[in-house]
Amino acid sequence: MSRIGRENVNGVATTRYHLLTNLEVFLRPSAGHIENALAYRRVQAALDVWIDAQGRPVRVLETFSGPSASGRTAVTTVVRFSGYGRPVSVRAPASAAVTSTKLTTPPDPLTAGPGSLLARRLFFQPPAIP
């Protein structure tokens, strides 16, 4: 993981970090759920995380891309965190913001199902801020 620099995200001072790896390494903390680790090595995982001064994530941008049974596939997710200490509400994106260009079928790691990206938990330990 490399430190990119300081950025202001929605009025919050943050430090941005970037990680480029593969899906097998990214999911290693939940390795017991991975059925075909070799296939996961072919999926590129890019993660950008903006951390505030208290070490809390403010924004997470993750993109996974790789080969699938239907051709090249990519999944991008943006998660914004705010209002720490307040009640939580989750707003689903407008249907126009969700697109699909190709149908993929299991056991592809970029599809829904056991061990997929959509079923996994994100394990992230932010690095110590100097």
Q: What share of the chain is helix, strand, coil (3-state, %, to 5)?
A: 15, 40, 45
CB 84 within 8 A of CB 78: no
Alpha helices (runs of H) in 29-75, residue ranges in sequence order: 37-40
DSSP, collapsed to helix, strand or coil, labels residue 28 as helix
Is the whole-model pTM more than 0.75?
Answer: no
57-114 pLDDT, tens digit each: 999 999 988 887 778 888 899 999 888 888 877 777 776 666 665 555 545 555 544 4
What are the structure tokens assigned to 51, written together? 């951390």
What are the structure tokens assigned to 27, written together? 């999911």
